[in-house]
Copies of this chain bind each other. A is one copy, B any other.
Amino acid sequence: MNIRTIALPAVLILTAVLIPLCALAAPAPDVSDATADCLGCHEMTSPGIVADWRAGAHAATTPQKALEKEGNALMVSSDSVPDELKGVAVGCAECHTTAPDDHADTFDHNGYQVHMVVTPEDCAVCHAKERTQYKDNIMSHAYANLDENPLYQSFALAVNGRPTVKDDKLALSAASQATDAQSCYYCHGTKLEVTGTAARDTFMGEMDFPVIKGWPNNGVGRVNPDGSLGSCAACHTRHAFKISEARKPYTCKQCHDGPDVPAYKVYSTSKHGNIYSARNANWDFNAVPWTLGADFKAPTCAACHMSLLVSPDGQTIAERSHAVMDRLPWRILGLVYAHPQPKSPDTTKIRNADGQPLPTTLAGQPAAEFLIDKKTMDERKERMQATCRGCHATSWVDGHWSRFMDTIEATNESVAASTALMTRLWEQGRADPANIFDEYLEKVWTDTWFFYASHVRFTSAMAGGGDYGVFADGRYFFKQATTELAKEAGVETTSGQ
């Protein structure tokens, strides 16, 4: 046996094996002088933040290199990036010192004009298209859509209000800002306001830092010190900003796991979630574009709702969108009835036929002028179904969708029944509609549409069926709450074919 004849192919194979390993170890690009200054201290004082940043793409590449990608592989969507940023890693200073005059939380920090809160405008330096899409996204308006809706104020009082028992009354008064920041606004986003400056001892001596009311928060509709709306970090967690993380369902779970929006629970119990859980360790969550069938075998939240998807032969199946309603004709959560998505991401202007700030009346009539029309709904349905057809035959997709339509009709019908019972209780004086959310029976009614109809619709939308559609906060509990209202209203329940 001649060692040379064996060794050569072996070395070639070895090289093929080792090159990918070496590629992982490619040297990180230079950081700017400013970022080097940041790292000088923060490597020691904030080791976790620095280590996480080093683990991400921003530390491993430069805008210049990112701009060299082509077509569907391009991640930087701005037409150009300022020259001074192009050749260095996207480090501390690149994000925390952009446009200092625009940020009310900018402060002098060792000679740098640093702002604490990085906003979508900062990210837009490189990711302009995503920032524009997100602006049009209902999520970016999540703060005012609550805060400026009088019915929400009643609801918040009924949920978060401070209770006191006095003189035969249970009185609910306004909750603290801390309470609101930890409940609704945790996901919707707080309003950040710079209220002053505080001195703090550091290992560099006493230093001044801005005091920001509403901080910390990474809600999707956060009102920022530069006036922009939203936080990219809601889904793209600081400081690694890994696309792999945003594509996994745990990110969405943070705000879509509760009984009001049970998306994650339904997903994780669905066939899609089953396949994901069993097999995702072998999938590629970093590939851009994301190739259906090759990089992943079953969708995550991002795949159906946001991601740029291509087929193995490179055809685009779905365009990337940071306006999450682009593939959504119907709004099936959070409000009394399922209804077409609102036209504008700013929902504060909506008034129903009874003058209430709701997209339907309590009897179910849509406030049509504020909602998208059939043509827009059909376009969105087509975009969504295109992703379904990547893995399902048309007859499967059509059968699924017709059930979903049936569910929207059936759940709205069921909510009409529970609302009719609640109306009777109001008429009977069993509850006071001054605040339609704050008494026990009103909460049982709220359960019917806010929790149970939502579960039924999500299982239907996501083909989750089974448990969450029936017994796990689904139709069974929907009917239980409805019959409790009937019992209280003295309405007899009967059943028959």
B residues near A168, Cβ cutoff 8 Å = 490-492
The answer on a CB contact under 8 Å between A479 and B159 is yes
Select which of B8, B395, B465 is within 8 A of A212 by beta carbon.
B395
- Cα A248 to Cα B278 in complex, Å, equals 6
B residues near A6, Cβ cutoff 8 Å = 8, 11
Residue A14 at the B interface, CB < 8 A? yes
The answer on a CB contact under 8 Å between A186 and B393 is no
Residue A365 at the B interface, CB < 8 A? no
- Cα A495 to Cα B486 in complex, Å, equals 25
Residue A360 at the B interface, CB < 8 A? no
The answer on a CB contact under 8 Å between B443 and A173 is no
The answer on a CB contact under 8 Å between B279 and A245 is yes
The answer on a CB contact under 8 Å between B492 and A169 is yes
- Cα A157 to Cα B471 in complex, Å, equals 14
A42 to B: closest C-beta gap in Å: 9
Identical copies in the complex: 3
Binds B, one of A60-68, A81-89, A133-141, A256-264: A256-264
| Most B-side CB within 10 Å, residue of A18, A179, A421 | A179
Residue A349 at the B interface, CB < 8 A? no
The answer on a CB contact under 8 Å between A293 and B407 is no
Residue A355 at the B interface, CB < 8 A? no
Residue A196 at the B interface, CB < 8 A? no
- Cα A254 to Cα B462 in complex, Å, equals 13
Interface residues of A in 146-195 (CB under 8 A from B): 154, 157-165, 168-176, 178-179, 181-184, 186-187
B residues near A474, Cβ cutoff 8 Å = 183
The answer on a CB contact under 8 Å between B274 and A52 is no
Residue A426 at the B interface, CB < 8 A? no
Q: How large is the interface on A (under 10, 10 to 19, 20 to 34, 35 or more residues)?
A: 35 or more
Select which of B275, B435, B480 is within 8 A of A440 by beta carbon.
B480
Binds B, one of A29-37, A121-129, A410-418: A410-418
Closest to A403 in B: B178
The answer on a CB contact under 8 Å between A158 and B250 is no
Contact with B along A15-27 (1 / 0, CB 8 A): 1011001000000
The answer on a CB contact under 8 Å between A47 and B311 is yes
Residue A391 at the B interface, CB < 8 A? yes
The answer on a CB contact under 8 Å between B493 and A48 is no
The answer on a CB contact under 8 Å between B417 and A165 is yes
Given A50-B293, A157-B495, A163-B414, list of 12 further CB < 8 A pairs? A3-B8, A17-B21, A47-B312, A48-B391, A163-B482, A164-B417, A165-B486, A168-B491, A200-B394, A250-B274, A258-B470, A259-B472
The answer on a CB contact under 8 Å between A494 and B172 is yes
The answer on a CB contact under 8 Å between A495 and B158 is yes
